[in-house]
Structure 1
């Protein structure tokens, strides 16, 4: 039974009566049973509940209800991920299980721990899939489910998407409900095609209507939902390192080549090729003073390293006013520079990660979040798309950032690149 591996294709088949949701979900459960001892992508699998819910979807379809994601099996991030999945369930999705997330003693959230052990990268079992949405990315990349939810507090959707070769979308902070009190985390999704990302976005925004608004997230440039999407080519700026990060040559080369292919296709016009930092030693010194003057209008983007700000906000207890003052200053400087950037361009392109997927012993002192967590601090939506492969045979990603509220622009852009097979 082959109705396509994409969520929208499966839903169309269920709506048309060509296949039952029960059969689609049973196929997904069989794939989990067959692969999960080696991949360790799941913490829990909900066989009985999933089949029962699939039967309910079949009944709803038979009663004439048109469900946009009818019968689509999906995975939720972590054991509590189902709590926020109401809009997907209402759209006809069926949750089959909770994916692996980091366990105790896994610094920087780059490992996953499933019910059978350590979560592995489906391209190379000796490499990490990234995290913290580790199992979600693996389940999607391996074709176990077409869609998995994630949460992104520093790159936790985009990093595993890059290292597993799938699309990973982080939404504008504050646009969808989030349990994170710091305001740094935003919901996201991992899928294999842009059409499925759009289907997820439509479902969750319809479900969230009336519970969250656009206050405080209206952007400039291509802006938010309801705004007319600009015609091709979109203006884009490329930055290999955001002006501060210590980035390995290969992720830069692979992502830059992908950006140039986009320019050759007419999808974007790269208006400026931004230089990297001149002083790599300062980039490596996470605690060095960062008192650079604000970049003038039209100058290359040079963000301040968000490490101190992110850590201060994550651990803020109100008893360290100096740390919180530093966090506010870094956030204000970076917000000002990003606002200036998006007044003159539509998209910002970077590598998703500063390094390739590392082994299970860890990255050492390297922060895999170096190029992603700036946009948790600023709140901008960002998408990681597959850029190509490194010399180790593992995927690498291209990060695409839009103005706040610009998810529609990101999805339109992604659909130009990833037409459905």
Structure 2
């Protein structure tokens, strides 16, 4: 496992203390050693990665200081390289395509790599979540510091939670997406808020916000419709209490208790060709109005990320892992999963932060401040 973050790597390469070619070679060696067991990758681009890294070294030698100089990144799926183009232009080095659910898979919290099913690095008999399965595993196992994802119902946030890393979904419609329904948005998986913030600066051209802490927040264990298990709720609530004690957030009660309409049927209708979308539009309008009211009196909404701990490879059971995430694909709000702790089964859980539209910078600032004040600590699976 590498402990080097994206910021440290880029600073070292720009300063001439490290070569991008060496950094890429180390990442490729880690992947070669670990991926036969993890199955996080579909393809590994060894020759191309070393060529790109040499180009980065040449740019630095010519006086450039790319913000992601030499940072190894993994991209989601074989079609993910286009989404990573801003990162490559900023000096990142793409080392491979990560696993996603296989053809015909009836559920998305699973991954199929080149060597078989993708395993959770905390427990090999459990799934890492998905559909950004390999991306989360590659970051959690320290193979790369950053991996791109796409989030249509929780596909970045759920694997982030179940693998113990951070996962950000951008505001719906803010960046190009190949999803004609508009439900999917790009995202990033990272081990630290600072590294996620570096990704944000590259793709958005903006720095994370610098708000005055504590920020006001509303806690909701179930959004008014979900039925999460007691342990994910307890772990998320304990994380919130640490944030309160550290002065990062202050819990407030909204004038009206938040109760959203279940977004599941609406989400499914929008994804089903020929389905009547009238009720979906009604659910979307009601939920957006209720969230607008909430964000009028609080900076943040906080929930557990997933309603259950990671399931086994035989299937997800009866509980939708998306039940607490897909509301914000329907509404378009940015959402961020941050590690909350480790459950009795030895697997991580996440706490989800949601903010108003186009306020990704606020979410990143919360994660970074929580790390700085010790309210959120990085989780590391056993090597």
Distance 1:229 1:195, change over 3 A: closer
Whether the 8 Å contact between 1:108 and 1:367 is mirrored in structure 2 is no
* The structure with more radius of gyration: 1
Q: CA deviation at 1:230?
A: 3.3
* SS of residue in 2 equivalent to 1:15: helix
Residue 265 of structure 1 is aligned with which of 218, 241, 246? 246
What is the match of residue 366 of structure 1?
319
- 2:73 aligns to what SS in structure 1? strand
> Does residue 313 of the first structure (1) align with residue 270 of the second (2)?
yes
Cα pair 2:200 2:207 within 8 Å, conserved: no
Aligned-residue RMSD, C-alpha = 1.6
Q: Partners of 2:17 and 2:148 in 1: how far apart?
A: 27
Q: How many residues align?
A: 374
The offset of 1:101, in angstroms, is 0.2
Alignment of 1:17-416 (within 5 A): 17-206=16-205, 229-272=210-253, 298-317=255-274, 320=275, 323-416=276-369
Deviations 1:58-103 (A, max 9, x none): 0000000111110000000000100121110111000000000000
Report the alpha carbon displacement of residue 371 of structure 1 after superposing the two structures with TM.
0.1
On the 8 A contact 2:335/2:352 being kept in 1, the answer is yes
Unmatched segments (≥5 aa) in structure 1: 207-224, 273-296
d(CA) in 1 for partners of 2:212, 2:46: 45
Paired with 2:198 and 2:153, the residues of 1 have a C-alpha distance of 24
| 8 Å CA contact retained: 1:316, 1:324 | no
For the 8 Å contact 2:132–2:149, the answer to whether it is kept is yes
Q: Give the drift of 1:107.
A: 2.4
Q: Give distance in 2, aligned partners of 1:250 and 1:107.
A: 26
8 A contact 2:208–2:360 mirrored in 1: no
d(CA) in 1 for partners of 2:45 and 2:237?
42
CA displacement, residues 341-390 of structure 1 (integer Å, 9 cap, x when unaligned) = 00000000000000000111112221000000000000000000000011
Rounded Cα–Cα distance in structure 2 between residues aligned with 1:201 and 1:112: 26
Q: Distance in 1 between matches of 2:68 and 2:184?
A: 26
CA contact (8 A) 1:349 1:399 kept: yes
User: What is the deviation of 1:242?
Assistant: 0.1
Q: 2-side partners of 1:229 and 1:315: how far apart?
A: 41
Gaps of 5+ in 2: 379-383
Q: SS at the partner of 1:232?
A: coil
TM-score if structure 1 supplies the norm length?
Answer: 0.87
Task: Report the TM-score, using the length of structure 2 for normalisation.
Answer: 0.95
Q: What is the alpha-carbon distance in structure 2 between the residues aligned to residue 326 and residue 44 of structure 1?
A: 41
Specify the SS of the correspondent of 1:237: strand
